[in-house]
Every structure is written in structure tokens, then in C-alpha cells.
């Protein structure tokens, strides 16, 4: 690899990649080759990537030729993008959700996300490791572990720092500059938490902004795909490529007239001067001293940049005892619907068969058991149980009406500022509302978790808003990013 290009690719953003491609200073084929070489050099210990697309080089060559003959399709033309291993791609790559039971499963059609990326000219570079079944395997499974790919490690402290889940590989790979950007998925914290832990930007969109068709599901009322990138600008570029109504996903009907195909006009760092941001201190209560200090520094920065800070604000839902029945019930129904459509050659076509397969291959499939799968199988799979209906109604009533919407309206806020951990994600997940996380600081000490991980290292702040408020959140996040520039490359 050319030494100069090898140095350039580290932290290169999509805009500058496009400038270099247009000037002929580099080709998409060379971009792919550089990332493949970096993967081969560094990912052996990180285990962030399950497989590289064997057709990536040929696709890049074709896109280079198209650029020469017809010009560029847009900002993603010829850009290598990684996808989480629960996103269907109709090619030679597999889609397994990290499970050995689906290790040989190839999709019969592209997911809506993959199809949109291809249409935009992106190169699907590879599939990233993830917490198996998006973490819904057992209550003891380690974040970032899958029976197919092993344990993904945080590039800032491999084997020591918490990597976050379940889009662990998508976060670690982007952090380590193994791809231009990636697509993750989130049900509750699965984009935001690993993005925060790996010093990158993650956008968890409003449920329905991006189609879930062709994505191995967890719970349809909360699932969404979203961009993970090294900058707010790159995440905004990716987001615009993924939006749009899809008849295969009825939730996307709500996005009509609410979505944009280009979110880059919202990269406005001056917006902070008029922003009103609330500080819900209740969600800071479990932070250790260092991470609380990072949050306090972020508040001070926002205030210094001209934002109006309301410290603190209270949400009526703060003392609610949340149920977890929505995910438990929806998982069985949604997964069964997905598995039933797989080719006959695949050994599992229902959750019951997944459990049986794991029992029959316990030596490789059950390192952490499958207690959560078993609990989900106990439901009817019809979504008719009253306990499920009550839990879903609770989520919408308290997370939306007596939660995020209430406090935003009461104080005329543009957003809430939350920590980049599960406390900052769960409420928005239940509401189906958007979040964006931005690197905010580095914890030198941290605390040790029950799993033995140390929570020190990168940490992000999270901006939360109401449904389809992505433009406002991008404005705020971009302003904060431009005022701080906390991100730096991991010492690989």
C-alpha cells in the first residue's frame, strides 16, 4: 500500500473521499483494497468483521468505470460501507444475526437498506459481528459476542474496555478505520451504546424513517437501522440515502412528508445559538464521577456556544416500573415470520427450531446459554396476550405522552441531553423516537462491571427528540462536534 494513502485513509471522511475520487487521486478499487488490507492487518484481534464481500473489488471497478463514463451518482458513489450481520444482502455474503444456526444463510433478496445503498452507489464491503440475536440470546451473554464470530473487542482497549452491543462490530470497525462507515440496528441502545463506547457518531432514527424489510428482527415496534460513522456529516450523508416509504414496512408510511433524502443542509453549527436543551438529571443518576464530569463539561460547552440550558427538567414517567414484555412477545412473532421464508437448506425455520439446534450443538452455540430465547418461546407468538398489549400501551403512554413529548412541550425544548449508556437510550427506544450520540470525552479510570469489563475509555453524549426530529438533532450534534472535536483514532 502507498504510505501516503495509508496515512490518508485513517480518519478520511466521505466528502474528502469523494473529492479525491473526482480528482482521480484515488479510485474506489484502491479504497476497497486499502480497507481490506487494514482489516487483514488489524481485525484479527478485534473480530469486528465476520466476512468481506468477495465481490467488493469487482463492484468497485464497475463503479469507477461508471464514474468515468457517466459521472457520480452522489456522495456515496464508490464508498465502502459495512453492514451489521442481521441485514440481508442478496450476494455471496451470509446473514446470520451472529448465530451458527444461520451461518450458511444467504438472502434471496436485498433488504431495503442494502438496496438503497446499492442504488446510491455504495460498495457493500462486508458484514460486521454483533451480539447474537441482537443480545436477545440470554441474560448473561456478553455484549459483542456471537457464536459465529466470537467476541468483538473495543479498539481503544482490546480485552479491557467495554465494547457495547449489539451493533458492536459496526462500531468497532468504524472506530478502527476499517470502513468508511457502517449500518447498525437498534431496538434499545444497540446503535447508541456501542457508538458512545467506541468514540463514533451513531444515529438511531425514528422508527419508520428507514424500512426494516429484510432485517432479522427483534421487536417491530422498536427496531430500526441507522448510520454509524466517524463524524456527524458522514452519518447525515448515510441517513439521507436510507430513508423513504416502503410498502413492505407499514411503519414507514408515517415518514411520508417527514423524511429527507439529504440531511446535510442541517449541518449548521450556528443553530446552537437558538437551541433550547433540557437536562433530565434523573437519567444521570448511575454515572460514575468521571462520566458525570464529561456530561457537565458537555453542558458547559453547549452553554458557551449560546444554547439555552434548562437544568434540570423532570419527566412524569421517571418513576414508572417498565415492563420488558413488548420485546419478549414481538421477538417470537417477528423472528418466526423471518425464518419461515428462508431456504429449505437452512436448518432452522422457527424460534423453536433455533432453540433445538442450539441444544444439539451446545458446544459451539451455548457458551452463554439461551435463557432469553426460551422465555420468548413461551409466548403464543400471536401478540394477543393482554400482558403484551398492556406493556405496549404503557410504552406509548409513558415514554411519549408522559415522557419525551411532555417535557419538550412543557419547556419548549429542542432536545434533551442524555448520557451515552442504556439510561440514555431506553426511554427513546420505547417511544420509537430518535437519538444521536457524539464523542464527548474519555474516562481514565471508570468502574468494573459484573462481567469484568472496565467502563473507562470513550464516552459520548446523546441528544434526544420527538418523532422525526432528526434535522434538529443533527443541527445540535454538529454544533457540539464542531465546538469540541473529541474524537481521535485508537492506537492500533
Asked if pLDDT for residue 317 goes beyond 70, the answer is yes
Does residue 265 contact residue 275 with C-beta atoms inside 8 Å?
no
Give Cβ neighbours of residue 419 (< 8 Å, ≥ 6 apart): 283, 284, 287, 291, 295, 459, 461, 462
Residue 451 has pLDDT above 80, yes or no: no
* Eight-class DSSP state of 397: I
Contacts (Cβ under 8 Å, ≥6 apart) of 122: 76, 77, 78, 79, 80, 81, 241
| Secondary structure (3-state) at 1 | coil
Q: Among 63, 85, 57, 59, which Cα is nearest to 18's?
A: 63
pLDDT at 2 over 80: no
Which one of the listed residues 27, 28, 84, 111 is annotated catalytic? 84
**Within its chain, how far is the Cα of 233 from the centroid?**
16
Q: DSSP letters along 7-71, please?
A: HHHTT--HHHHHHHHHTTSS-HHHHHHHHHHHHHHHHHHH--EEEE-TTHHHHHHHHHHHHHHH-
What is the rounded CA–CA span in Å between residue 406 and residue 129? 38
Quote helix, strand, coil % in the chain, to nearest 5.
45, 15, 40
**Per-residue pLDDT tens for 319-330?**
999 989 999 999
Please say if 111 is a catalytic residue.
no
User: Residue 340 has what pLDDT?
Assistant: 98
Please say if the pLDDT value at position 184 is more than 90: yes
* pLDDT at residue 105, rounded to an integer: 98
pTM for the full model? Answer: 0.97
pLDDT given at position 452: 65
- Catalytic residue status for 190: yes
- The whole-number average pLDDT for the span 298-325 is 96
Q: Which of 159 and 242 is assigned the larger pLDDT?
A: 242
pLDDT category at 473 given cuts 50, 70, 90 is very high
Check whether 174 has a pLDDT greater than 60: yes
| Signed CA dihedral, 141, 324, 162, 470: sign only | positive
Q: What percent of the chain has pLDDT over 70?
A: 98
Q: How far apart are CA 437 and CA 4, in angstroms?
A: 31
Examine the pLDDT at 24 and tell me if it is beyond 80.
yes
How many other CB atoms sit within 10 Å of the CB of residue 274? 11
Q: What pLDDT shows up at residue 214?
A: 98
At residue 85 the predicted structure's pLDDT band, cuts being 50, 70 and 90, is: very high
CB-CB contact of 440 with 420 (8 Å): yes
The answer to whether residue 377 scores a pLDDT higher than 70 is: yes
How confident is the model over 182-201, as a mean pLDDT?
97
Kindly report the average pLDDT of the chain as a whole number.
96
Which of 27, 48, 146, 190 is an active site residue?
190
Mean per-residue pLDDT, 105-130: 98
Q: Are 278 and 407 in contact (CB under 8 A)?
A: yes
Give the confidence band of 446 by pLDDT, cuts at 50, 70, 90.
Answer: confident
Tell me which of 28, 111, 166, 167 is the catalytic residue. Answer: 166
Is-catalytic flag, 166? yes
Q: Which residues contact 440 (CB under 8 A, 6 or more apart)?
A: 294, 295, 297, 298, 420, 459, 460, 461, 480, 484, 486
Task: Give backbone dihedrals phi and psi of 321, rounded to 5 degrees, phi first.
Answer: -90, 100
**C-alpha cell, 335:** 423472528
Amino acid at each position: 500500500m502507498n504510505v501516503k494513502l495509508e496515512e490518508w485513509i485513517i480518519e478520511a471522511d466521505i466528502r474528502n473521499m469523494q473529492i479525491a475520487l473526482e480528482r482521480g487521486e484515488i479510485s474506489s478499487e484502491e479504497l476497497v483494497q486499502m480497507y481490506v488490507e487494514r482489516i487483514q492487518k488489524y481485525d484479527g484481534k478485534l473480530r469486528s468483521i465476520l466476512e468481506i464481500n468477495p465481490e467488493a473489488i469487482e463492484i468497485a471497478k464497475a463503479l469507477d468505470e461508471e464514474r468515468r463514463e457517466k459521472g457520480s451518482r452522489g456522495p456515496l458513489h464508490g464508498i465502502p460501507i459495512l453492514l451489521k450481520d442481521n441485514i440481508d444482502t442478496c450476494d455471496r455474503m451470509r446473514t446470520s444475526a451472529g448465530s451458527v444456526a444461520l451461518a450458511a444463510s444467504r438472502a434471496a433478496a436485498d433488504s431495503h437498506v442494502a438496496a438503497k445503498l446499492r442504488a446510491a452507489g455504495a460498495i457493500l464491503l462486508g458484514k460486521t459481528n454483533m451480539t447474537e440475536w441482537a443480545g436477545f440470546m440470554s441474560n448473561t451473554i456478553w455484549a459483542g459476542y456471537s457464536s459465529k464470530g466470537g467476541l468483538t473487542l473495543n479498539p481503544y482497549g482490546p480485552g479491557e474496555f467495554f465494547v457495547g452491543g449489539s451493533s458492536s462490530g459496526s462500531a468497532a470497525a468504524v472506530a478502527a478505520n476499517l470502513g468508511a462507515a457502517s449500518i447498525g440496528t437498534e431496538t434499545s441502545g444497540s446503535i447508541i451504546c456501542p457508538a458512545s463506547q467506541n468514540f463514533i457518531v451513531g444515529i438511531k432514527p425514528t422508527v419508520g424513517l428507514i424500512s426494516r424489510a429484510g432485517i432479522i428482527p427483534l421487536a417491530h415496534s422498536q427496531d430500526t437501522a441507522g448510520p454509524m460513522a466517524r463524524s456527524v456529516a458522514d452519518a447525515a450523508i448515510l441517513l439521507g440515502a436510507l430513508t423513504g416509504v416502503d410498502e413492505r414496512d407499514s411503519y414507514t408510511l408515517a415518514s411520508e412528508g417527514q423524511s429527507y433524502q439529504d440531511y446535510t443542509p442541517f449541518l449548521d453549527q450556528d443553530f446552537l445559538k437558538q437551541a433550547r436543551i433540557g437536562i433530565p438529571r434523573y437519567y444521570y443518576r448511575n454515572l460514575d464521577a468521571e462520566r458525570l464530569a464529561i456530561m457537565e463539561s458537555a453542558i458547559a460547552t453547549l452553554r458557551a456556544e449560546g444554547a439555552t440550558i434548562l437544568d434540570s427538567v423532570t419527566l412524569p414517567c421517571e418513576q414508572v416500573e417498565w415492563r420488558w414484555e413488548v420485546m419478549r412477545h414481538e421477538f417470537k412473532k417477528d423472528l418466526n415470520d423471518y425464518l419461515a421464508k428462508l431456504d429449505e437448506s437452512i436448518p432452522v425455520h422457527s424460534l423453536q427450531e433455533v432453540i433445538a439446534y442450539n441444544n444439539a450443538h451446545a458446544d459451539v452455540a451455548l457458551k452463554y446459554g439461551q435463557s432469553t430465547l426460551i422465555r420468548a418461546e413461551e409466548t403464543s407468538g400471536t401478540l394477543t396476550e393482554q400482558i403484551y398489549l398492556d406493556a405496549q400501551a404503557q410504552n406509548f403512554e409513558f415514554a411519549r405522552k408522559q415522557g419525551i413529548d411532555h417535557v419538550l412541550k412543557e419547556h419548549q425544548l429542542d432536545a434533551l441531553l442524555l448520557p451515552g449508556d442504556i439510561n440514555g437510550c431506553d426511554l427513546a427506544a420505547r417511544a420509537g423516537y430518535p437519538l444521536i450520540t457524539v464523542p464527548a470525552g474519555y474516562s481514565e479510570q471508570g468502574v468494573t462491571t459484573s462481567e469484568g469489563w472496565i467502563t473507562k475509555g470513550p464516552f459520548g453524549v446523546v441528544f434526544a427528540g420527538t418523532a422525526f426530529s432528526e434535522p434538529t438533532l443533527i443541527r445540535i450534534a454538529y454544533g457540539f462536534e464542531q465546538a469540541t472535536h473529541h474524537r481521535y483514532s485508537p492506537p492500533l
